[in-house]
Structure 1
Amino acid sequence: MSNVFSFTGTVGKDAEVRYTPAGLAVLSVNVANNVGFGDKQQTLWIRVALFGKRAEGQLANYLKKGQQVFVSGELTQNEYKANDGTTRTSLELNANIVDLVGKKNESGQGQQAYPPQAAHQAAPAPVSAQSNDNFDTPYDDDIPF
């Protein structure tokens, strides 16, 4: 049975990269996801983690508070005792994919879209309206489907 959870949300706090005693890099970020609507709307906070080489890249520089992201991976629910003695739960996601889906709106102007980027790829650059130069080339007629 497969456990894959995918969602879009907003980064709540700048991402942090830490290292385990064994030297494994761990990128951690909290992402808010709104569920429901109207008076029934609530915000779920999900702790997202990337491990290894994917955590060592430049992605942490782009996962800043307010950034819109698409995240997919394995979801777990953990219980812990709070300082006041109550039992609480937290949602944690071991991410396989973290894509930037938009830029946070700092200047009051509209959002600027980024092309989808997987966590193991290079950091995204803004999409340019003048980047359509490659569409003038004809398609290859030898495509087998």
Structure 2
Amino acid sequence: MFRKVILEARSQIGRLNNVRFLSQEVNEATKIEKTVNNVTLLGRVGAEPQKRGSAEHPVVIFSLATHTNYKYERGDFMQKTDWHKICVFKPNLRDAVYNYLRKGQRVMINGRISYSEFKDEEGNSRPSTAIIADDVIFFQ
């Protein structure tokens, strides 16, 4: 009964304010909530792909440049470049990227963003951000 009242109230609020409430799907057995972490980038490869990691956990990494164009105060057009670290773990995709992707080539990446930390030479923790690629689309 109480749940029905809440749902009806949400419906009324939504109609009045043009707001949609999405029901939160939670698997009660495991208490796992659905989320979205999706990134799409289109840009140019900044350096030749490199093999990293170990034999048990290989990875291919490369940098990707994307640009943002904007108009400056005096009317001049400017371009800001952002650099992204791309990591490829999927075996077939990893091999294709390593063998065929070249510096300067235009590619589109679909994947997810990942945040982590690493220790530098002095032992200080440094933040790191990478895109974990699920798809890499090559352009000629």
Task: Using structure 2 for the length normalisation, give the TM-score.
Answer: 0.58
Q: Which has the larger radius of gyration?
A: 2
Residue equivalent to 2:139 = 101
Task: Report the secondary structure of 1:28's partner residue.
Answer: strand
Q: Is the contact made by 2:93 and 2:136 (CA closer than 8 Å) also made in structure 1?
A: no
Task: Report the secondary structure of 1:13's partner residue.
Answer: coil
CA distance in 2, matches of 1:44, 1:78: 19
Stretches of structure 1 that go unaligned for 5 or more consecutive residues are 103-145
Aligned partner letter, 1:29: F
Q: Is the contact made by 1:74 and 1:93 (CA closer than 8 Å) also made in structure 2?
A: yes
Q: Is the contact made by 2:90 and 2:134 (CA closer than 8 Å) also made in structure 1?
A: no
The alignment of Structure 1 onto Structure 2 pairs a total of residues equal to 101
Displacement of 1:20 after TM fit? Answer: 1.8
Residue equivalent to 1:92 = 130
CA distance in 1, matches of 2:129, 2:66: 11
Residue equivalent to 2:16 = none
19, 24, 36: which one pairs with 1:2? 36
Residue equivalent to 1:31 = 64
Task: Report the secondary structure of 1:99's partner residue.
Answer: strand
Q: Is the contact made by 1:25 and 1:52 (CA closer than 8 Å) also made in structure 2?
A: no
Residue equivalent to 2:81 = 43
**For residues 51-130 of structure 1, what are the structure 2 equivalents within 5 Å?**
51-78=89-116, 90-102=128-140
The percent identity for this pair of structures is 26
Aligned partner letter, 1:95: A
Cα deviation 1:64-122 (Å, max 9, x = unaligned): 11010000101134567888xxx9765310110111022xxxxxxxxxxxxxxxxxxxx
Name the structure where helix makes up a greater proportion of residues. Answer: 2
CA distance in 2, matches of 1:25, 1:79: 19
CA distance in 1, matches of 2:66, 2:137: 15
Name the structure where strand makes up a greater proportion of residues. Answer: 2
Cα root mean square deviation, aligned: 2.9
